[in-house]
Amino acid sequence: MKYLWIICLVGIGFTACNTGSSKKELVAGIWQAKLHRQDGAAIVFNFEVKDSLGKKVLYIINATERMLVDDIQVQGDSLLIKMPFFDSEFKAAFQADGNIQGKWVRHLADKDVDIPFSAVQGVAERFKVNTPAKGNVSGRWATRFKAEGKDTSFAVGEFKQEGNIVHGTFLTPTGDYRFLDGVLDGDSLRLSTFDGSHAYLFTALLRNDAALEGTFYAGIGTGKQQWLARKDATAALPDASTLATLKKDSAQLNFRFPDMTGKMVSIKDDRFKNKVVVITLMGSWCPNCMDETNYLSEWYKANKDRGVEVIGLSYERTPDFETSRKSLSGFLKRFDVQYPVLITGVTPNDPQKGEKTLPQLSSISGFPTTIFVDKKGNVKEVHTGFAGPGTGEHYETFKTNFIKLVDGLLQEQ
């Protein structure tokens, strides 16, 4: 027995001897996590572990957002955390000090990709602050992103700063970068986000309180872009209703796709006749679609008896029906979606996705795209992109305009 205890003390370090007295578990409280890119950049985020009805859950923290993750499995020293959306997971192991190391795995249509991951318990800060902020980035910023060998893309940055802490997002013509969380340390800006799909880090130097110059690190690989921004209270995006339009002489849509059970559903079905119909082009891989689905699901449950319907048209990463159905199932369950979601069998990267699914439209410029149809079956507006809750007042404006548009269509004879 003496030799057994010696082996326990000087053995592998973090693996407990099988004496029945040790069980690894996530410690409740705040953690700091990092995704370690090959170029040395670390995408930092925080999560909070809690006990809920006898099991562990965690909330991934990005600014004011708390994303519930409730599929956590512990077996010996191994830890598996499955994200609720976007088909990704953490595979890790407990270390001797109770911290964890492993990898974050994304399951793409044709392969799996991963990145090293670590998490330290008891660290509430996002980024370490060494110096008081040498300026204030609060406000609106006209922003240009430049990837090597590609044209620049335009976005509008909106930030709010209190002391060293900075929250905000970037709005683009097709959506937003959701909840960015970080600091201004001296003149150095650092912002990050992680939601199971987005894994972003923004760094920049603030110059004269009026210009930002930095690097945008995106995701698991080595992808990065340079970005420049200037403070501009009038910075604005193109009108979202002009990016995709109805072709001339194509007042009505005509589509038919299978629902989650395989049953074929058409916009011409009796269920949708003489009703206002909101059609959302979406995918389970799309964070902005997640935000829109969350809103539409609750709105539909409160308004479905008023003569309105919602249809989701899903563009998944694979044309295979069963694989797409599986990807969508958890997504729709989390938001308790009660309206039909149809699987188009066309991928979001297909250059002919518009022609194959909705040839009446001039294009499909981004996801989500929302189409408003009146009681006569005529398309009244096509809206590209979605300003989600991470955009603050823009999200409130969206909700106001959405309700006003649908109410107006319901009042038409």
Listing DSSP states for 260-279 in one string gives: TTS-EEETTSGGGTTSEEEE
CB 266 within 8 A of CB 273: no
189 to 160, 235, 275, 377, 392: CA distances (angstroms): 12, 20, 49, 49, 21
Instruction: State residue 66's pLDDT score.
Output: 96
Q: Which domains does the chain have, with CATH numbers?
A: 23-121 (2.40.128.120), 139-231 (2.40.128.120), 256-411 (3.40.30.10)
380 to 127, 270, 300, 356, 409: CA distances (angstroms): 47, 20, 19, 22, 9
**Token couple for 57:** 């859950």
Instruction: State residue 22's pLDDT score.
Output: 59
Closest Cα to residue 362, out of 376, 379, 347, 342? 379
Instruction: State residue 238's pLDDT score.
Output: 87
Q: How far apart are CA 175 and CA 286, in angstroms?
A: 10
What does the pLDDT look like over 333-366, one tens digit per residue?
Answer: 999 999 999 999 999 999 999 999 999 998 898 9
Instruction: State residue 14's pLDDT score.
Output: 37
Answer positive or negative: Cα dihedral of 58, 59, 60, 61: negative
What does the pLDDT look like over 247-273, one tens digit per residue?
Answer: 877 779 999 999 999 999 999 999 999
What does the pLDDT look like over 269-278, one tens digit per residue?
Answer: 999 999 999 9
Per DSSP, the three-state class of 124 is: coil
Q: Low-confidence residues of the chain, pLDDT below 70? A: 1-23
Instruction: State residue 282's pLDDT score.
Output: 97
Q: How far apart are CA 156 and CA 148, in angstroms?
A: 21
